[in-house]
Amino acid sequence: MAKAGHRLSIHSIRVRTTITSLLIVGIVVGVVGVGLVFQQHRSLLADQQTRVSSEAASIALALSEGRSFTNFVRPGTGFQVVTASGQVAAASEALYARPPISTVRPLVGTRQTVPLNKASLATTDLDDGVGAIEATTVKTAQGPLTVYAAVFGGQVERSTGTLVLGLAIGFPLILLVTGVLTWFMTGVALRPVEEMRIEVASMVDDDLETRVEVPPGGDEITKLAVTLNEMLDRLESSQATQRAFVSDASHELRSPIASLLATIEVARAHPDAADWGRVSTVVDAEARRLKDLVDDLFWLSTRNELRREADSIPVDLDDLVFFEAERLRLEGRLRVTTRQVSAARTLGDPLELQRVIRNVIDNASRHAATSIELSLVSDGEWIHLRVADDGEGVDPATADHLFDRFARSDAARDRPSGGAGLGLAIVAAVVGSLGGSARFVPVDNGATVELTLPALS
């Protein structure tokens, strides 16, 4: 019952289409019908006027030649022959024993259409009404005679009434047939859409492998089915990515939390023997690791919203590189070389680009043995930023996967200071959104990350 009520809702496409077609057909048929009635009425009146004009002329000619004129009288018409003194000398049966039909007296040899008004009509009690009157005056042996030829208007009214009755009967039938056909054809046209809706509605959140059937034809319904399947592909891929992301994030969060709990539980179990300085150091390190991980997770989950709010402005990449290099030098552990850093500008968000450069340099510093070399060059169209370290290097077969979320090399997993595997993922996301790329350059010793960004001319 709920489904039927939904289909019959005033907001249903099927109902709206049927109502719209009825309105359009009703307006068109109504306008055409009114025009047809008007045109027929006008045509009948013109035909009447032609008939009385011809009849009046024929009778007048016969009178002037002294011939018989009764054979000129046609069905549905009548005539009167009136003398100059106003006496009816001859008349048809319909106008016999009646006073002159009109007071209009044209000049001899002329013809005039009699207006159908009180001033021109001498009698208005004709049983069938008058549709048109033509008057003409001719000179005869008996003196001037005026001939009135009249056609009775009831015939026009009856014909018009018959047409109106036919339209009144046909109009509802036309609307009924139009409504039924539109309702049926719309239902047939929308049936594939309803089937797709039911199929998509029956899908559960954890099962997005089903796809809607694509109907043949290449029309809008086919395109809708293709679009729905493409959307389901994206949803399935997004769901898989989200599940992997949640799983990896849970795994990464579990490690520092477990370390924190273990350290605290051991210290609480043996408070007198605990090295509280070491405990605080471990807790501080793991807390910072948790903070960095949560910050990275938050940044990745909200980056789309942040990108919509951020404005791209010219950014001097060399300034950012020098700043991060100096920050790393202050730590005093590694030698940082910046001899090959030259001026370069690009469009982007300064905070995002600084985060990118910091992530790449921090990743290199975790793996470097003694030194890091930075280079920044522009070839006019592209900017190439390279960060090279003298560490153990990366496996070329898996280097590209290190830009995925939570991806880490085996060496990084073995190091206590290894990151969560989100730094390079952030780098790839930002650089990719700016139209650039990030990759590991094959080198003989250590590892080199190259970022390519569009140059600002």
In total, the chain counts a number of residues equal to 457
**What φ, ψ does residue 267 adopt, rounded to 5°?**
-65, -40
CB contact at 8 A, 72 and 59: yes
Q: For residue 138, give the nearest of 171, 178, 99, 105 by alpha carbon.
A: 105
The type of residue at 145 is L
Per-residue pLDDT, 413: 41
> Whole-angstrom Cα distance, residue 389 to residue 335?
10
Q: For residue 263, give the nearest of 250, 249, 281, 251 by alpha carbon.
A: 281
416 confidence band (pLDDT: 50, 70, 90)? very low
pLDDT in tens, 422-444: 778 888 888 888 899 999 988 88
186 confidence band (pLDDT: 50, 70, 90)? confident
Segment 373-391 shows an average pLDDT of 92
Q: Which of 7-16, 61-70, 352-361 has the weakest average pLDDT? A: 7-16
126 confidence band (pLDDT: 50, 70, 90)? low
304 confidence band (pLDDT: 50, 70, 90)? low
For residue 272, pLDDT over 70 is answered with yes
Q: Which of 197-206, 280-289, 354-363 has the weakest average pLDDT? A: 197-206
The CATH classification of domain 310-454, taken from the options 3.30.565.10, 3.40.50.2030, 3.90.1150.10, 3.90.1170.40:
3.30.565.10
For residue 389, pLDDT over 60 is answered with yes
> Whole-angstrom Cα distance, residue 287 to residue 282?
8
Segment 70-75 shows an average pLDDT of 63
pTM of the prediction?
0.48
Per-residue pLDDT, 5: 42
Q: For residue 360, give the nearest of 244, 277, 453, 266 by alpha carbon.
A: 453
pLDDT in tens, 130-152: 667 888 888 887 788 888 888 77
Per-residue pLDDT, 129: 63
For residue 303, pLDDT over 80 is answered with no
CB contact at 8 A, 252 and 421: yes
> Whole-angstrom Cα distance, residue 92 to residue 65?
20
Following CA atoms 428, 430, 433, 438 in sequence, which dihedral angle do they give, to the nearest 10 degrees?
-30
Q: Give 6-57 as a DSSP string.
A: HHTSTT-HHHHHHHHHHHHHHHHHHHHHHHHHHHHHHHHHHHHHHHHHHHHH
For residue 187, pLDDT over 70 is answered with yes
CB contact at 8 A, 256 and 289: yes
Integer-rounded Cα radius of gyration of the chain: 50
Per-residue pLDDT, 3: 45
Query: How is the chain split into domains, by residue range?
Result: 1-202, 252-299, 310-454
> Whole-angstrom Cα distance, residue 69 to residue 312?
102
Whose tokens are 């239902």? That residue is 187
> Whole-angstrom Cα distance, residue 111 to residue 100?
17
